[in-house]
Amino acid sequence: MLRYFFQRLMWVFIVLVAVLTTTYVLYKIQPSSPPTRPAEKATWLKSQVGLGFMEEEILTRGEIYEGKFFKNDENIFGQKITREMQEAIYANYKYYKIDYTIWSDYDSPSVTNMNRRLLIYREIPIMVQYGKWVKNVVTKFDWGPSTNISINEKATTVLNRSFPYTIGVNLITTLIEIPLGLFFGILCAIKKDSIFDNIINVVFMVFISLPGFVVIMLLMKWFGSDHLFGLSHPLLPYQWQSSDAPTKQKILAYFIPVISLSLGGIAGLTRSVRAELSEGLTQDYVLLARTKGLSKQQAINRHALRIALTPLLPGLIFSFAALLGGAGITEQVYGIPGAGRVFLQAIQGSQPDYNVLMYDTALFSFLGLFLGILMDMSYSIIDPRIRMGAKNE
């Protein structure tokens, strides 16, 4: 069992490395997107050197004066390194057909004229960069700086900040889904084909068909903007509340996203519990239990329900994984600063934020794969008849 688990885990890491490498290459062949403002770009270039993705060459004014880069520069001693000079040096480098980023501390007021330098940055080959990147990630868990969402902050910080919101909303959603789904599912199975069952079936059919973002829009309109029942203010906040809002408002802000996310989940859970349990109720062992003298209640609780709930745990793990990945649109619509929204921001901002995207990719694919193992393992944990990794004999 444990052996099987570790085998699977090994495989997860192989897939993860493959996925990340592919993504890395596919991002690297897109045009790069450094910060545009001078001060931010300078910091970014420095951090690139620190992470080992670029080489830095520093030219002091003296070196430039010595004619290292100019054939006939007469009078630059004591002058600033001007834009024109940068251009000239750039052209000089271009001559050797190597792509360089030239940067000077021209714009920095703290540097005195005499100490001005020219900084020349050169990207090292992508394969070497990849090695450095793997090393940074494995040894320091450093995924590089963010270049758009929160410039020059670590990508890990930017994304980790958003997890409390995503996990909070999704956990509450799951916690609401389970009892309600179980309740309706069991009730429907016991009273199969009654009026109650039919009504629930129709209503939940609608729930399953409802697109999440339509539900949240309608909820926002009716509960977040309209003055229902003649109230002087809307029942719930129209937008996610920032951290300095009153606690009551912050709690109320959970209602709309949680409801919109859980409707489909409740309906799905109800359906699967109903199907499993109604099948279980007709089995011989339930009949046997009844013949032995158990009441209907006992027979259901002790025999039918246990078997019926077997596929439930894996299903819940799966739905939680799906929620984590699919809540992006809800977060975007309602303005929740969660992981999905950060992901979308990183893609659709004024320029892509590759490092955040990479970290996001790693996390989400790991979560997906790992929860996949847990799902498979949970079958054998709760159902002893299934033995994972056993050889067919």
Within 10 angstroms of residue 269's Cβ, the number of other Cβ atoms is 25
Q: Which one among 35, 181, 314, 352 touches other proteins, defined by CB under 8 A? A: 352
**The one-letter amino acid at 120:** I
Binding mask 20-59 for other proteins (x = CB under 8 A): --xx--xx--x-----------------------------
Tokens representing 381 are: 């944990």
Residues in CB range of 311: below 8 A, 6 or more apart: 272, 276, 379
- Give the C-alpha separation, 183 to 195, whole Å: 17
The single residue among 75, 110, 112, 209 that binds other proteins, judged by CB under 8 A, is 209
Of 100-108, 273-281, 291-299, 325-333, the segment contacting other proteins by CB under 8 A is 325-333
Residue 372 contacts by C-beta under 8 Å, 6 or more apart in sequence? 12, 321
Please name the amino acid found at residue 176: I
Phi, psi of 374 (to 5 degrees): -55, -40
Of the residues 49, 167, 344, 375, which one makes contact with other proteins according to CB under 8 A: 344
User: Taking CB under 8 A as the rule, does residue 379 contact other proteins?
Assistant: no
10 binds other proteins, rule: CB under 8 A: no
3-class DSSP state for residue 71? coil
Report if residue 9 touches other proteins, rule: CB under 8 A: no
Residue 103: both structure tokens together: 């940067």
Contact call for residue 214 and other proteins (CB under 8 A): yes
Dist CA 263 CA 238 (whole Å): 19
Nearest of 62, 74, 34 to residue 352 by alpha carbon: 34
Q: Is there binding between residue 114 and other proteins (CB under 8 A)?
A: no
18 binds other proteins, rule: CB under 8 A: yes
Say whether residue 369 binds other proteins (CB under 8 A): yes
- Are the beta carbons of 159 and 339 closer than 8 angstroms? yes
Instruction: Please select the residue that binds other proteins; options are 220, 236, 258, 309, rule is CB under 8 A.
Output: 220
Considering only 208, 294, 375, 382, the residue that binds other proteins (CB under 8 A) is: 208
By the rule CB under 8 A, 101 interacts with other proteins: no
Where is 171: in which H helix or E strand? Answer: helix 163-190
* Least separation in angstroms between CB 214 and other proteins: 5
User: What is the contact surface with other proteins in residues (CB under 8 A)?
Assistant: 15-16, 18-19, 22-23, 26-27, 30, 205-206, 208-214, 217-218, 220-221, 225, 227, 238, 325, 328-329, 332-333, 340, 343-344, 346-348, 352, 357, 360-361, 364-365, 368-369
